Amino acid sequence: MKLAQTLLAGITLLAMAACSTTVINTGGPRPPQGPGPAGTNFGFWDRDAEGAVDQDFRRFIAGRWQGGQAAEARAVFEADGFRCRDGNRPDGAPVPELECERVYSVNDNVHSWTVKFWPNQPRPESHYVRLHMRDPNRSYNESGN
């Protein structure tokens, strides 16, 4: 009876640990600092502030791409490690003509570059976001460590 209780407790702990594990799709190898192999400018994402990287990425996308260039842009973004989806999908809500995203995680930070081409818009939408993931199983002190 004691062995059965111990095994049950162990299985329960393993199941709880499996449920709390977060899986992050890293989107491939580490993005470069600055331009990628096909020319997409990722910015200096590991040293600059999130807002500065976002502003530079938006400026680059707006200066490089226009509405109607989705097919050409897709080839470039995929060569630079982005995952792209076109508007032919049953999402049940308006979707962009083309949506490309590059996600990369390192340590506790998740970096995401997103570009969306919407019909009848002169320029695509673009964003860079850096998220800091906190481990729910870890105790943090007030200084954020």
Residue ranges covered by each domain of the chain: 26-132
Cα 39 to Cα 55, 73, 80: the distances in Å are 17, 11, 8
pLDDT score of 106: 83
pLDDT 10s per residue in the chain (145 long)? 554 444 444 444 344 433 333 444 455 688 999 999 999 999 999 999 999 999 999 999 999 999 889 999 999 999 999 999 998 888 778 889 999 999 998 878 899 999 999 998 999 999 999 998 766 676 656 565 5
**pLDDT on residue 144:** 52
In the prediction, which pLDDT does 15 show? 41
Amino acid identity, residue 24?
A: I
